[in-house]
């Protein structure tokens, strides 16, 4: 049997890295005690700070990042796989929003830098320009767990289906989109986006989330989700408080879903034809 129990750890990361590590570690230990062998944390696990200058004061380069070092040791102590949804780490004169997969030996098995930058102006007046602080990644990342093939993505990436489709074409059975979704966009789109990526690719989607009001004033939606390949929510924290949720992942369900609806196999290439309507002048 290649079934395994996965967990989403939901956080409310603040400005103090040490405090965030403590809460995250406690919830990871609880999830492991509940039987989880794969545990995912949300985007910006180490710190949430909106000010670019303040963020740069609080973070380090990857090799010295205390959250990465601590959770590597914790993965080894617990004998589990930990997917750090992402950390803010220094990258030249900018910042990388980078996720990590840690093996039960404590090492980094894979890393992924968020490709799509959240540069938006929301109707409630919120304005975000991630590209002013973060250096975007340029490649999608796929790796193998002992039980299934895993695809890495982060937050805003979930609105760009091509990433997930390409991962599915490469045999990925478990897609991921750990996030710090704003409350406004989360209330409108969080569930439907997660379920859509699962349904159209016939794959599990695991997405741990940040939730609640943070020290820097932002509000995130929470509602960490695990969705099965048929689009059914099999695990959810139905609130924005810190905690964890588990679900059993059955990779065989991916094969079944792709047999029922062979959308990947049925894909065809196509060209685009634009037909312009010309209005005749009336004389």
Catalytic residue among 24, 114, 250, 253: 114
Cβ neighbors of 219 (< 8 A, separation 6 or more) are 182, 183, 212, 213
Please say if 166 is a catalytic residue.
no
Cβ neighbors of 88 (< 8 A, separation 6 or more) are 44, 46, 47, 49, 55, 59, 95, 96, 97
Question: What tokens appear for 82 in the block?
Answer: 């930990």
Catalytic residue among 8, 43, 250, 253: 43
Catalytic residue among 155, 173, 250, 253: 155
CB count in 10 Å sphere of residue 256: 12
Burial class of residue 165, CB neighbours in 10 A (0-12, 13-18, 19+): middle
Angle at the Cα of 172 (from 262 to 247), degrees rounded to 5? 100
In degrees and rounded to multiples of 5, residue 103 shows phi and psi of -85, 165
Please say if 155 is a catalytic residue.
yes
- In sequence order, the β-bridge partners of residue 248 are 5
Conformation bin of residue 34: beta by default, left when phi > 0, alpha when psi is -120 to 50:
alpha
Please say if 43 is a catalytic residue.
yes
* CA–CA separation, 281 and 16 (whole Å): 68
Active site residues: 43, 114, 155
């Amino acid at each position: 049997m290649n079934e395994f129990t996965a967990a989403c750890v939901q956080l409310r990361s603040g400005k103090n890295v040490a405090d965030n590590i403590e809460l995250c570690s406690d919830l990871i230990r609880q999830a492991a005690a509940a039987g989880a062998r794969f545990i995912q944390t949300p985007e910006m696990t180490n710190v949430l700070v909106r000010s670019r200058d303040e963020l740069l004061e609080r973070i380090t380069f990857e090799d010295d990042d205390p959250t990465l070092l601590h959770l590597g040791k914790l993965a080894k102590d617990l004998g589990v796989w930990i997917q750090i949804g992402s950390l803010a780490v220094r990258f030249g004169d900018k910042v990388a929003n980078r996720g990590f997969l840690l093996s039960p030996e404590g090492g980094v098995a894979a890393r992924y830098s968020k490709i799509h930058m959240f540069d938006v102006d929301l109707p409630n007046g919120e304005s975000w320009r991630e590209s002013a602080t973060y250096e975007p990644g340029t490649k999608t990342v796929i790796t193998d767990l002992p039980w299934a093939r895993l695809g890495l993505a982060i937050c805003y990436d979930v609105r760009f289906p091509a990433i997930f489709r390409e991962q599915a074409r490469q045999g990925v059975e478990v897609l991921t989109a750990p996030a710090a979704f704003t409350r406004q966009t989360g209330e409108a789109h969080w569930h439907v986006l997660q379920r859509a990526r699962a349904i159209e690719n016939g794959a599990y989607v695991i997405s741990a989330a940040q939730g609640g009001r943070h020290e820097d004033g932002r509000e995130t939606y929470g509602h960490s989700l695990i969705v099965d390949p048929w689009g059914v929510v099999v695990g959810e924290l139905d609130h924005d408080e810190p905690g964890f949720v588990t679900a059993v992942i059955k990779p065989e369900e991916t094969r079944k879903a792709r047999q029922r609806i062979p959308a990947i196999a049925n894909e065809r290439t196509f060209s685009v034809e634009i037909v312009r309507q010309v209005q005749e002048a009336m004389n």
